[in-house]
Chain A
């Protein structure tokens, strides 16, 4: 990879991050009614969009800025697997329990 093309890639990722953030802010201000009223797996379409866009941003930061994309596969997996397994597990327990707790308090 030549020096210029690599710098160009960095700036492309910068624009992607900026545009995705801009989309998030615009959606957060407008709050389109159809996105607030419709639900996917218990979350509004709007919030689901935010979460997906956040993960897209996280992917670009980790892949391009932290150069994880150019590391060896075993290093990639030893970094990503604990994250992929433990965080969804933690969130599953916390959020399920919170729904239960809310139900117990308010019925």
Chain B
């Protein structure tokens, strides 16, 4: 039998396309699968910590209540606006891909430009939200001890008003309801048995310098000596997850904008017109839609649920 020489377009020489998609597009899809798994791991870990620290976990409605130029309590509106911006930029992207299919350079330029504008607007909105999250509320919070749940050294956050109120209410007995002495009265046995240290409900050690002197803390420090040590909204892990997940998503948006700009310049220079197809816009589009897709899930699991 004569040995047949393989041609590069033979199936066994890697020439076949069983999925009828180009190499670049396939690889983009496979990258997106891995990225989807990464994000689901992050959101899953968020869910894990949220359920474990259920009692101290803040309700998003009480944390993200700001809206530009308006004073007051407006939960969800700002995130809804951010979601809207990202959905619109996703639509303009798919319209750019669509125009590319018909070799309509002008259409691609317009829609891709609008997509970039949408992406930059989203990043700006996120920066604004981070700023308010770091800065915190006007009233702040006080970290206190309490004897709840049968455990003597549990710490949680109360508002400064309720802290003052409790102190005044107990003034007649000359006992500070949040002091070690007060807890000692009710949990003497437990506190004598174990070495004395402060804990959150889940057993994490609480920074002692923040406790018990009515010290008001504000926001969630991201830099400086107190970075990641506390946040006024609730359990420390909450702000860490907020920074990590929305930060990682924001980084995706940022890289998406950069890649869009590169492709935009190429479109202006007729690179794809000469190549004969706009598939590169489609591949970038896949990435951009994925970023939108992730935000849909972040929106649900961080802000709604």
CB pair A50 B300 closer than 8 Å: yes
**B19 at interface, CB cutoff 8 A:** yes
Does A72 lie within 8 Å of B20, measured CB to CB?
Answer: yes
Closest Cβ of chain B to A104, distance in Å, is 9
CB pair A58–B61 under 8 Å, yes or no, is: no
- Contact indicator A105/B304 (Cβ below 8 Å): no
Contact, CB under 8 Å: A25 / B80: yes
Interface positions, chain B 192-232, Cβ under 8 Å from A, are: 201-203
Q: In the complex, which residues 291-305 of chain B have their Cβ closer than 8 Å to any Cβ of chain A?
A: 292-293, 296-297, 299-300, 303-305
**Chain A residue with minimal CB distance to B61?**
A28
Residue in B closest to A66 when the chains form the complex, CB atoms: B289
Q: Quick one: given A21-B80, A24-B304, A58-B293, are A75 and B203 in contact (CB under 8 Å)?
A: no
* Known contacts A18-B84, A75-B29, A105 near B290 by CB under 8 Å: no
Q: Does A62 contact B (CB under 8 A)?
A: yes
A74–B19 Cα distance when bound, in Å, is 6
| B residues less than 8 Å from A38 (CB atoms) | none
Size of interface on B: residues with Cβ below 8 Å to A: 56
Q: Which residues of chain B from 3 to 61 have any CB-CB distance to chain A below 8 Å in the complex?
A: 18-21, 26, 29, 33, 36-37, 40-41, 44-45, 47-52, 54-55, 61
- Determine which residue in B91, B95, B285 has the highest number of CB atoms from chain A within 10 A of its CB, and name it: B91
A92 to chain B, nearest CB (A): 10
Which residues in window 54-107 of A have CB below 8 A to B? 54, 57-58, 61-62, 64-67, 71-72, 74-75, 78-79, 82-83, 86-87, 90-91, 94-95, 97-99, 101-102, 105-106
- CB of A83 within 8 A of CB of B297, answer no
B102 within 8 A of A: yes
| B51 x A102 contact (CB < 8 A) | yes
Interface presence of A51 (CB below 8 A): yes
B125 contacts the other chain (CB 8 A): no
- With a 10 A CB-CB cut-off, give which of B18, B293, B303 has the most chain A CB atoms: B293
Interface check B174, CB cutoff 8 A: no
Determine the distance from Cα of A75 to Cα of B26 in the docked complex, in whole angstroms: 8
In the complex the two chains form, is A50's CB within 8 Å of B305's CB? yes
Q: Which of A7, A24, A105 contacts B201 (CB 8 A)?
A: A105
Shortest beta-carbon distance from A45 to chain B in Å: 12
Is A10's CB under 8 angstroms from B91's CB? yes
Q: Are A105 and B51 in contact (CB under 8 A)?
A: no
Q: In the complex, A95 Cα to B202 Cα: how many Å?
A: 16
Nearest-neighbour CB distance to chain B for A44, whole angstroms, equals 9
Select which of B18, B26, B305 is within 8 A of A51 by beta carbon: B305
Q: Of A7, A61, A62, A95, which is in contact with the most chain B CB atoms at under 10 Å from its CB?
A: A61
Give Cα distance in the complex from A42 to B299, angstroms: 21
Smallest Cβ distance from A55 to chain B, in angstroms?
9
Sampled A-B contacts (7; CB under 8 Å): A21-B87, A50-B304, A66-B289, A71-B21, A72-B20, A78-B19, A106-B55
User: Which A residues have a C-beta under 8 Å from some C-beta of B?
Assistant: 3, 6-7, 10-11, 13-14, 17-18, 21-22, 24-25, 28-29, 47, 50-51, 53-54, 57-58, 61-62, 64-67, 71-72, 74-75, 78-79, 82-83, 86-87, 90-91, 94-95, 97-99, 101-102, 105-106
Q: Beyond A24-B300, A90-B41, A94-B48, list 20 extra A-B contacts (CB 8 Å).
A: A10-B91, A13-B91, A14-B91, A21-B84, A24-B299, A25-B80, A28-B61, A51-B305, A53-B300, A65-B91, A71-B20, A72-B21, A74-B18, A79-B29, A94-B44, A97-B48, A99-B51, A105-B52, A105-B202, A105-B203
